[in-house]
Amino acid sequence: MGRTIKIFDTTLRDGEQSPGCSMNLNEKLEVAKELEALHVDIIEAGFAISSPGDAAAISAIAETVRGCSVCSLSRCNEADIDAAWEAIRHAAAPRIHTFIATSPVHMEYKLKMTEAQVLESVAHHVAYAKKYCPDVEFSAEDATRSDMNFLCRVFEAAIRAGATTLNIPDTVGYTTPDEYAALIRYLREHTPGIENVTLSCHMHNDLGMAVANSLAGVMAGVDQIECTINGIGERAGNASLEECAMALNTRRDFYGMDCNIDTKQIYHASRMIQTITGVAVAPTKPIIGANAFAHEAGIHQHGVLANKQTYEIMTPESVGIPKNAIVLGKHSGRHAFEERLIELGYSLDSEALNKAFEKFKILADKKKVVKDRDLEALVGAVPVTGTEKFALENFVINTGNTITTTAVIRVKKGEESAERVAAYNGPIEAAFHAINKIVGREITLKDYSLKAMTDGEDAQAEAIVKICFDGDEDEMVTGRGVSTDVIEASIKAYINGINKYFNN
Ligand code: KIV
Ligand code: ZN
C-alpha cells in the first residue's frame, strides 16, 4: 500500500483571489460543501484578516463542514493569527496557515526585513498560532527562489515552534520538476526534525508546470498537494485539483500513491466553479474541458469504437461526466427528473426540487428534449439568499437596424412594481439602462458573455455579467441568467448580479 497524498484545496482562498473569481458567502458555502463531497482533506476557506466578508465566510464554512479540516491563511503577524483563529475556531478540525516570504527579493523590497528578523518572526508567530491550534501550517513564500540553507534554518525554526505542516510554495511559478524535486530532497536531508512533519507543495502555473511540479514534489517526499478546482488562482493559476488527482489515479502504476478524492465528483465541482465565477475553462482543458473526451479524427473514432483504450486513458464516467442515456421531455415525471439530477451530482432539498421541477416543465414545453446541460442550467446557480430585492416581471424591446432601440422593463421591487424606459444603441444596453433607473444606483457593466448551453435552434442561452456599483471595481459581482431567449437571459443575469450585491 503506497502513501496517501493529502489534497489541500485553496479554491476559496488563492483561487478566489484571481480576477473575476470572487464569490459571496452563500456561494462559498456551497463550494465548501462540494469540496467536502469531493473528499478533500483540507479546505483553505479564506484569509480572515483580509475583509469582514472573508472572515464571515470562513466562520460559516467552519461551522458547517464536518468531514475535513478547515483552514484560514494569516501572515506572520499577531492580528492576522487572531483573526484566523476567530474564524476557524468552531471547525471540526481547525488549521491555522501562517506564512512569510523567505526569498532575497521579497525580504529586501517587500518585507524590508533581514534574514535574522524573518527567522525570529517565524519562531514567534508559529508558536503564537500553536497556542490556539494544534494544527499549524507554515509556508515560506517564494521558497523556490530562496537560499536553500536559509530555507532549512527557517523550517527548523518553524518545526521547533510547533508547525505540523511545512509548505514549500513556488509562488511565482518559476521552478521546474527536476529542480523542485532536488529542493525537497535537500530540505529533507538538511533540516533537523523534518521527518516528523508533513511536507506540502503549492505550485503556481506561470510556466505551465504547476501540476508536473506538484507530482515531482510528491515523488521526492511531499505528502500534501495544494491546488484549486479548474486551476483558478493568481495570474496563470494554481495546480489544478482534477489534474493532480487524476494523474495519481490514472498512473497509480507509476506513482504508487493514492489520494482520497472521489473522482466521480470532479465534473460537478468543476461545473459549479465555472457557473459561480462565470469563468469558463478552455475546451482543451485536461479532464474537464469540453473536448477532453471527444474524438474528432476519423482514425481515432474508428479506434475508440473498436476498443476505447486505443485513445482513452481514463473514462468520462470516472470523473463524473454523465452518460447521456436518458433524455427528458414534457412527459417526464418528477421521479425521472430527480433521478437524473442525482446522477448529475445535484442533491436538492424538496423546496429547491419543487422549484426546479416547475422550471423544468416550463422549459420542456418550449423544447422537444431537455438535455443534461439544460438541467445544469436550470439548477446550476447558487440561489441568492434572503429575499430577492428585484425580480423581472416583463419586458418589451423595440429594436431594428435603422432605429434607436428602446427597452421597457417592469421589475418587482419588494411589494411594488416599477417600470422604466430607456433608449440606447442595442437591446441589451437599453434594457440594462432601464434597470439602472429602477435600482437608482450607478451600475457599470464590466464584462458580458453569452453562450449556448446546448445545441440546436431551441438551445438555452447562458448570460454572465460582471458588474460593479458606484465605480468600485474591487467589489465586482457576477450575475447569471438562463433562458431560451438571449435578451431575457441577459436581463436575468443583470438582475441576479444586482440581487447578489444587495444580499452580500
Ligand atoms: O503562492 C504562495 O506562496 C501562497 C502562500 C500564501 C502559500 O499562496
Ligand atoms: Zn499561492
DSSP state letters, 28-81: HHHHHHHHHHHT-SEEEEE-GGG-HHHHHHHHHHHHH--SSEEEEEEESSHHHH
| Location of C-alpha cell 505542516 | 165
pLDDT tens-digit series, residues 461-495? 999 999 999 988 777 889 999 898 999 999 999 99
Report the pLDDT value the prediction gives residue 250, as an integer from 0 to 100: 98
Atom 7 of ligand 1, residue of closest alpha carbon = 139
Report residue 345's pLDDT band, with 50, 70 and 90 as the boundaries: confident
Rounded to the nearest angstrom, the distance between the alpha carbon of 202 and the centre of ligand 2 is: 6
CA distance 75 to 70: 17
Ligand nearest to the CA of 97: 1
Q: Which atom of ligand 1 is nearest to the CA of 143?
A: 3
Rounded to the nearest angstrom, the distance between the alpha carbon of 374 and the centre of ligand 1 is: 38
Report the pLDDT value the prediction gives residue 381, as an integer from 0 to 100: 64
**Among candidates 46, 41, 38, which has minimal Cα distance to 7?**
41
Report the pLDDT value the prediction gives residue 325, as an integer from 0 to 100: 54
Q: Would you say residue 429 has pLDDT above 90?
A: yes
Q: How many CB atoms lie within 10 A of CB 398?
A: 14
Q: Would you say residue 243 has pLDDT above 80?
A: yes
Atom 2 of ligand 1, residue of closest alpha carbon = 171
Rounded to the nearest angstrom, the distance between the alpha carbon of 14 and the centre of ligand 1 is: 8
Contacts of 238 (CB under 8 A, 6+ apart): 10, 14, 15, 202, 203, 204, 205, 210, 226, 227, 228, 231, 232
pLDDT above 90 covers a percentage of the chain that reads 74
Asked if residue 171 has its Cβ within 6 Å of ligand 1, the reply is yes
pLDDT above 70 covers a percentage of the chain that reads 97
Report the pLDDT value the prediction gives residue 365, as an integer from 0 to 100: 87
Contacts of 338 (CB under 8 A, 6+ apart): 353, 357
Asked if residue 97 has its Cβ within 6 Å of ligand 1, the reply is no
**All cell numbers assigned to 337:** 427528473
Mean pLDDT of all residues belonging to the chain: 93
Which of 139, 172, 227 for mutating ligand 1's site (highest number of atoms within 8 Å of CB)?
Answer: 139
378 backbone φψ class: left, alpha, beta (φ>0; ψ -120 to 50):
alpha
Backbone angles phi, psi at 143, to 5 degrees: -55, -35
Rounded to the nearest angstrom, the distance between the alpha carbon of 120 and the centre of ligand 1 is: 20
Rounded to the nearest angstrom, the distance between the alpha carbon of 171 and the centre of ligand 2 is: 5
Does the predicted TM-score (pTM) go above 0.75?
yes
CA distance 501 to 504: 5
Q: Would you say residue 369 has pLDDT above 90?
A: no
CA distance 71 to 50: 14
Report residue 368's pLDDT band, with 50, 70 and 90 as the boundaries: confident
Mean pLDDT of the region 33-44: 98
First to last CA, the chain: 47
pLDDT tens-digit series, residues 253-289? 999 999 999 999 999 999 999 999 989 999 999 999 9
Ligand nearest to the CA of 233: 2
Say if CB 408 and CB 382 are below 8 A apart: no
Atom 1 of ligand 1, residue of closest alpha carbon = 171
Q: Would you say residue 187 has pLDDT above 70?
A: yes
Mean pLDDT of the region 216-234: 98
> What is the sign of the dihedral through the CA atoms of 41, 43, 49 and 55?
negative
Say if CB 173 and CB 210 are below 8 A apart: yes
Mean pLDDT of the region 388-408: 94
Report the pLDDT value the prediction gives residue 123, as an integer from 0 to 100: 98
**All cell numbers assigned to 70:** 478547515
Ligand nearest to the CA of 137: 1
Q: Which atom of ligand 1 is nearest to the CA of 13?
A: 8
Atom 5 of ligand 1, residue of closest alpha carbon = 141
